Structure 1
Amino acid sequence: MDGRSFIKAFIEFTKHIGGVYPILLIDNMKIAARHKKYQDQQSQLTSLFQQLEQHYHIEVRLCTPYRPNQKGTVENAVKTLKTHLFAYQADFSSLNELQEEIHKIFNHLNGKKHHEKNDTIINLLKHENRYNSPVPKKHMAYFQDEIKCVRNNTLVAFDGNYYSAPEKYKGEKIIVRYTDRTVRLVTLDGKQVLAKYSRCYGKNHKKYRVWNMLNKLQHKADGFDQSREKRQMPKWLKFLYEKTFKKQADEFFAFLELIQNLKKNTVKRMLRWHSTFKKTLTIESVLEFISMH
């Protein structure tokens, strides 16, 4: 099992039981436990399970090695399921048919009384549900991290492709945090996202952000119209450059310097403010808006 399939199964599991319990006891599987530290001889959780703890606000505990009694209950339950499942039928025509049969078996077994407690298994689960927490509305998005160095051309090499980081991080180490769809460049302490990209597949693709290389572009303003940085700008920035700033690159870069540290919503409010009061977007009008806010 890999991390992605585990997270998918865990999400379905929390939906099925209708909550999350404060403690999750798991086996020492490779996707959960790192190698032991030599000093304290304690197994360490992998990044995946640290993310799991943070997202669901739970404590993940690893079973003690060579203590089969700690996971015996689960293994016995799996053995019981297999015994019932294949007692009368060895093959299933589809996954849905198999799942339906599993549900029938579980409903039958959970309706029985526990061999040590004077109550049915389903009722015992209802009693335990008093201690669980609601499932977070936002599903956990599993990501992986790799530490990379920013090259002198501001590009970070990852998986055969290149993503630009801010100029001031040239020569520095950063974190590449990635999923199947996105790549984020994050500071080494993990607190600040420097850039976010849709993930490239293939080889030698280069992704740029005009914000990340303003100094370089200002020295080569004459060639901006033919640059990759210009081609990869979002539509709203292309519109401002071509229609509002009339392809005056120097003034456009000065405008970008003013707004690069503003929040996205603040920039949207600024553009609405210019539209509402029918002001022409200039460096002076941007400074006026910033001074008011």
Structure 2
Amino acid sequence: MSGVAVVGATGFVGDAVVERLRTRGVVAKSVRAPRISGTVGAPAPTEQEVDAVAAEIAPCTAVINAAGVADSLAGGIEHLDGANGLLPGLLARACNRLGVRLVHISSAAVQGRRPGLDSTLEYQPFSAYSRSKVMGEQAVLAVGDNVCVYRPPGVHARGRAVTCAVARLASSPLRSVASPGTDNAPQALLENVADAAVTLALYSGVVPRVVHHPAEGITTSGLLTALGSKPPHVVPRAAAQLVVAAAQNACRCSTGLAGQARRLEVLWLGQEQAHSWLTDIGWKPPVGTGGWGRMTIATNMDLEDA
């Protein structure tokens, strides 16, 4: 094994991926993500740019792309499209040239408000962020066969802004979920996402071109209870749906609200996750649901010290 190259190794997910590789005794090579800007229709990377990236990757036997703008509320189109939409295609071309597998970490956001998250190419982007992630997936899937698009849902970890924000909400009088509160919460712990990506990179057989993250067994009520240390209020489902619909209508006047409205919808109503190929090969999250409580204790300590 010549090791696995991790693009964006110093970022939020990339750092965790490097740690999981080292835990498994695999050499992790940090590759700095090239800075790319532009939008749909931008000129394709030159052969010289592809060669330069391929030289950075060699002689690794697989590549994990953990680079990109991870903020679902971000709105800079050129910045988003460059990092999330154009860079994956460049990496896919470089990997194809070397004959090595690329695992591109995308996001469940590409499927938006679909009833369930799965590994199909059914897209429902709802924001500039989710559209940029769709762009990245399509660029990767258009290059060769030895690629795998991996879609994690909302990723949480100690210190992450979105986790702290949800923890504050879960500890406040406003904590609530739509009845009955037993809907699947499409959320994942960072360690589990990193381990799944590493599993896909190291798998000795053929991997599907798209793999979504399996449900981690936490409900909408369970999520807020874990993050806030007390059960949330349960509001009538019809009322919750009306509020979500109103928020989505407001997004038509202000596109910057799209991410916030979607976050509210997921926290209140949840979303199903279909059976995943990862489960078929025996993969299990290394950190169980108890990890949410442990993370919450650490997060609350951080909030008190802030």
Q: TM-score, normalised by structure 1?
A: 0.23
Q: TM-score, normalised by structure 2?
A: 0.22
* Higher RCO, Cα 8 Å, sep 6+: 2
Larger radius of gyration: 1
